[in-house]
Chain A
Amino acid sequence: MKKKERSVLPGFGMTMGITVAMLSLIVLIPLASILAYSFKMKGSEFVELITRPNVVQAFATSIGCAFVAALVNSVFGLLLAWVLVRYNFPGKRLIDGMIELPFALPTAVAGITLTKMYSDQGAFGKFLERFGIQVSYTKLGIIIALIFVGIPFVVRALQPVLEKLPLSLEEAGTMLGASRFYTFRRVILPELMPALLTGFGLALARGIGEYGSVIYISGNSEKQGTQVVSYIIMQKLNSGRVDYEGAAAIALVLLIISFVLLFVINMIQIMASKRTKQ
């Protein structure tokens, strides 16, 4: 191995010290406390806490709804990114600027607004009621809220890749007699796949842990299976009988899921950047 040259730039020690110290104090040590708390429990206790029916159901609801919402967002996110990059139309800049509204709008505000809109008294809720569709206080409501918070992840992951995609690819497809749709499916979509998966993964990760936008519209009913994991954790911190063990155990499982997703997203990006370098 080549011996590393000492950089002529100053500040290595100082920035290293500050970065590691702040990262440890604000992120790593507090998160390690959750780990420490969970490890104090016996294995059997831990398993008992996380396999309670309401906990298992909450995980199923969170992961299931986040998955469906991320799928819907992949479709509409791809469509929005495509339209914003490829076409010109009035209002395009407005849409482009407002795509990130769900990042800027506080989740609690989004939560109460969507709940009222889709309740049987609200504008959309009344309309859907006629077809027998209930949104607020059901899983469908959770999905709608997660679509709202997740849409910018997919659009923003795809836009830069679409912008760089050479038009010659499509032309080649068209010249060789492929239909527009065939070209899209066989030529463009594979090129977009890493970015699409990244956007999907980020929306999924956000959706599984989401709290503010979901808790109002979900109704949090154990019977109907509309409690999400974050709600269960919060409930254990707030209810009359505080249950730190239970909260720590569930949080640990949620942390592991987030780390696995983060790892997969990083792998996809590393693989994609290797492929384009070749």
Chain B
Amino acid sequence: MEQEKKRRNCQEQNPWVPRILIGISVIFFVIMLVVPLFEVIYRSLREGISTYTSAITAKNTLSAMRVTLLATVIAVVVNTFFGLCASWLLTKFNFKGKHALSTLIDIPFSVSPVIGGLAFIMTFGRMGWATPVVEWFNETFGTDIALVFSVPGVVLATIFVTFPFVSRELLPVMQAQGTAEEEAAALMGAKGFTIFKKVTFPHIRWALLYGIILCAARAFGEFGAVYAVSKARGKTFTLPLEIDALYMAGSANSITQAFAVSSLLVLLAIIMLVLKQIVEYRGKRDS
């Protein structure tokens, strides 16, 4: 209350300062973030509803949806598992090289996604040093696995770019929570998984969900890394790659189709933002 009053006193010096600042911010926000969203919708419906529906139900689009869904689900599951392990390790124990380890985990966050794709090509591609290992595996077990230019390659590239997303959200929360509660539980004889489920999990629930949402949002939209390792349209293309192919085809009709497929991803992005808002709100209320 006191704080609020002071705040008002500070502002009332000149009522025009906040008005102008808010005005500039809103204009910037509308031009940079709002108009592009409407642009996508406008362009996707330009040639009528029938073009729109035929674009989003085209064979290539449906195949791209399946690949995108698969890559996103696997990336979320893998990175959630990793994020839980890594943040348990980094916040509940002290050991040498802890700081270095947490920096290494953040690498994919600051590296160009194109480099991620390139790295997989150089490891598992035609010239890659690990290719003989994969070939040996395929011969021995009669499998036919390819780790680049294939759906598994797309999944791997997606996991790479979203690798730190869950652990980044969990680390600060688990750090702040400390180890006292878990230690008490351990001393009273609780087993590992029980400690996690009963003591740790209730604290990190919302942060975990938040990390999963960010991870999923990044996963379904990834372009650069996936583009490097995916070449077969209708087989290994994800939705962003399908949009690229339609757009690059260049005709007015195919560009409209590109925007129609884009509108699906805009919708998905908005759903992610709404979910994120809800989780943030619930998290604040609980703590």
Residues of A within 8 A of B (CB): 4, 7-12, 14-16, 18-20, 22-23, 26-31, 33-34, 36-37, 76, 79-80, 82-84, 86-87, 89, 91, 95, 97-110, 112-114, 116-117, 122-124, 147-148, 151, 167, 170-171, 174, 180, 202, 205-206, 208-212, 216, 229-230, 233-234, 237, 244, 247-248, 251, 254-255, 258, 261-262, 266
Which residues of A have CB within 8 Å of B192?
10-11
Q: Are B85 and A18 in contact (CB under 8 A)?
A: yes
Q: Are A83 and B22 in contact (CB under 8 A)?
A: yes
Q: List 9 A-B contacts (CB under 8 A).
A: A19-B86, A30-B122, A33-B130, A37-B122, A83-B21, A104-B269, A230-B114, A244-B121, A251-B112
Give CA–CA (A79, B259) in the complex, Å: 32
14 further A-B pairs in the complex, CB-CB below 8 A; given A19-B89, A212-B113: A10-B195, A12-B92, A16-B89, A97-B276, A101-B269, A106-B222, A106-B262, A107-B223, A174-B10, A180-B17, A209-B110, A237-B117, A237-B118, A244-B122
Q: Are A112 and B93 in contact (CB under 8 A)?
A: no
| Given known A-B contacts A103-B217, A104-B273, A30 and B160 have beta carbons under 8 A apart | yes
Q: Are B119 and A34 in contact (CB under 8 A)?
A: yes
Which residues of B have CB within 8 Å of A103?
214, 217-218
Q: Are A19 and B3 in contact (CB under 8 A)?
A: no
Instruction: Write the chain B residue with the least CB distance to A81.
Output: B25
Which residues of B have CB within 8 Å of A76?
25, 28
Which residues of A have CB within 8 Å of B262?
106, 108-109, 112-113
Instruction: Write the chain B residue with the least CB distance to A80.
Output: B25
Q: Are A79 and B122 in contact (CB under 8 A)?
A: no
Q: Are B107 and A31 in contact (CB under 8 A)?
A: yes
Which residues of A have CB within 8 Å of B212?
none
| Given known A-B contacts A34-B115, A110-B36, A251-B118, A205 and B259 have beta carbons under 8 A apart | no
Q: Are B186 and A31 in contact (CB under 8 A)?
A: no
Q: Are B122 and A234 in contact (CB under 8 A)?
A: no
Which residues of B have CB within 8 Å of A244?
121-122, 127
Which residues of A have CB within 8 Å of B240?
106-109, 212
Query: Interface segment, B50-58, B97-105, B137-145?
Result: B97-105
Give CA–CA (A180, B272) in the complex, Å: 39
| B247 interface residue per 8 A CB criterion | yes
Which residues of B have CB within 8 Å of A234?
114, 224, 227-228
Give CA–CA (A39, B69) in the complex, Å: 38
| B287 interface residue per 8 A CB criterion | no
Give CA–CA (A266, B214) in the complex, Å: 22
| B179 interface residue per 8 A CB criterion | yes
Which residues of A have CB within 8 Å of B34?
98
| B283 interface residue per 8 A CB criterion | no
Which residues of A have CB within 8 Å of B103?
262, 266
Scoring B28, B86, B112 by chain A CB atoms within 10 A of each residue's CB, the highest score goes to: B112
> What is the 8 Å Cβ interface bit string for chain B, positions 201-235, against chain A (1 contact, 0 not)?
00000000000001001101111100110000000
